[in-house]
Amino acid sequence: MKRYLLTPLWVVQLFTQTKSFTKNPLIGSRLANRLGLHVVRMVVAHSIMGLRMRLLGRQVDPQLRKQWYEEGFMLVENFLDEVSLAALRREASCADADVRECIQGDTLTHRIQLDHATLEHMPAFKAVLDAPRLQRLLKFASGKQVRPIAYIQTIKNGFVDGPVDPQKHLHSDTFHPTMKSWFFLDNVDERNGPFTYVPGSHRLSMARLKWEYTKSIEISEGADKYSGNGSLRLTDSDAQDMGFPPPKAFAVPANTLVVANTHGFHCRGKASEKSLRTELWTISRGNPFNPSPGLDLPWFDKLQNHALVGWRRYLDRQAEAKGALSSWHLIEARNTIQDSVDPVEQDKPVTAPAALYAVNTDGQDSDTHITDGQSADNQSTDEQSGIDQLRRAA
Ligand SMILES: [Fe+2]
């Protein structure tokens, strides 16, 4: 009976971003995938997303556009001036906002969602996110005018006991082009796990389509949890069969922007020590079968952020009813860096962001930078001038 009632929903989901082989029996149907369902969805979604990107790509620097189409990412070093970067670091260090945590293997991810209410107290982040220079890149890469959801994110490697973080296996997020971006507030190297990407792996070559076809049948017959959720894992022999080059680890200085099509194979790089990195992180994922890139409407942006906050609270209540924590649960910390400088932790070696900064532009020592407890409203003249510069650039 339940199957009968849900079938219309499963059919509709075939024309959306729904990717789970396990939650949608049509997407996970062995027969349908033998007949090519997964591959057909991929080809159609890539074609439509390609058109949407071309519509939005005219204002993007041709070199970056070329890099995007050929390699699947855009990389811009020295994205901001030092003063603006210092303002972002200060706001990240002194934030007073809801922090959500996800525990994956031995890694903690801490995030603050940068919705409108939060950004009211974070003028430097607001100025960066509003700057057309950034928005043009993100809209092109996501193939839509609607702004991505933005977060302050800190990845904390080796902060808990556990197996290897599953995000550290090369994988494709989903079957269609999709955008994530990282603006690194810290230097990134092998110590704190650089983002890693297989250049060119976003393209639909014949070898890739053949691999996807075989995988879709295998997954329909039972697979690991992540592949079953539509986030396909890559092995070394798969990479060889598809003729991929070696993965590129983005060991980059602070103040670097990386925008990636995470349909391409990627992962969090392994960190050689207990360490963290903080970034302004954005994500955009929508229906790849919708040919319209939509509009940048402030009310819609507010609505999507509001809906996400409400959804997370709903999941919290659901988990609480079962005596558990939701996968992205609230923690006591009010910023994403705070608990890494807990006095109990200080005798353990941690590659902390301040120690990695190329230039300590605010002239404070490392500890002060993280724990000085100033409110985000207490902006220094330098920070304010950085924000003004960003606004002028906008
Ligand atoms: Fe991913």
Distance 83 CA to ligand 1 centre (A): 31
| Higher-scoring residue by pLDDT: 387, 312 | 312
Distance 167 CA to ligand 1 centre (A): 6
Distance 231 CA to ligand 1 centre (A): 8
Distance, in Å, from the CA atom of 323 to the CA atom of 86, rounded to the nearest integer, reads 42
Distance 173 CA to ligand 1 centre (A): 5
Domain-by-domain residue ranges, the chain? 71-205+248-393
Distance 171 CA to ligand 1 centre (A): 6
Q: What pLDDT does residue 162 have?
A: 82
Distance 45 CA to ligand 1 centre (A): 19
Distance 93 CA to ligand 1 centre (A): 26
Exposure on the CB side of residue 116, measured as CA atoms within 13 A:
11
Distance, in Å, from the CA atom of 318 to the CA atom of 34, rounded to the nearest integer, reads 37
Written as six digits, the tokens of 207 are 């070898």
Encode pLDDT of 76-102 as tens digits.
Answer: 999 999 999 999 999 999 999 999 999
Distance 77 CA to ligand 1 centre (A): 22
Distance 267 CA to ligand 1 centre (A): 6
Written as six digits, the tokens of 388 are 């003004």
Among all chains, which residue has been given the structure tokens 């043009």?
136
Distance 359 CA to ligand 1 centre (A): 30
The pLDDT confidence band at residue 142, using thresholds 50, 70 and 90, is very high
Distance, in Å, from the CA atom of 64 to the CA atom of 257, rounded to the nearest integer, reads 12
357 pLDDT exceeds 50? no
Distance 288 CA to ligand 1 centre (A): 17
Pair 320, 126: CB distance under 8 Å: no
Distance 65 CA to ligand 1 centre (A): 22
Distance 241 CA to ligand 1 centre (A): 21
Segment 175-199 mean pLDDT: 96
109 pLDDT exceeds 50? yes
Q: What pLDDT does residue 364 have?
A: 30
Distance 46 CA to ligand 1 centre (A): 18
Encode pLDDT of 35-58 as tens digits.
Answer: 999 999 999 999 999 999 999 999
Distance 263 CA to ligand 1 centre (A): 8
- Say whether domain 71-205+248-393 belongs to CATH 1.10.620: no
What single string gives the DSSP state of each residue in 346-391? GGS--B-HHHH-S--TT---HHHHHH----TT---HHHHHHHHHHH
Distance 250 CA to ligand 1 centre (A): 15
Distance 261 CA to ligand 1 centre (A): 10
Average pLDDT of every residue of the chain: 86
Distance 383 CA to ligand 1 centre (A): 33
Q: Alpha helices of 2-143 — where are they, by DSSP H?
A: 2-13, 30-34, 37-56, 62-71, 82-94, 116-119, 123-130, 132-142
Distance 268 CA to ligand 1 centre (A): 8
Distance 388 CA to ligand 1 centre (A): 35
Q: What pLDDT does residue 339 have?
A: 61
Among all chains, which residue has been given the structure tokens 């029996």?
25
Pair 232, 111: CB distance under 8 Å: no
- Chain-centre distance of CA 269, in angstroms? 14
Residue 102: name the closest of 142, 151, 138 by CA.
151
pTM of the model: 0.85
Q: What pLDDT does residue 340 have?
A: 54
Distance 1 CA to ligand 1 centre (A): 36
Distance 258 CA to ligand 1 centre (A): 14
Pairing of strands 99-104, 107-113: antiparallel
Distance 379 CA to ligand 1 centre (A): 35
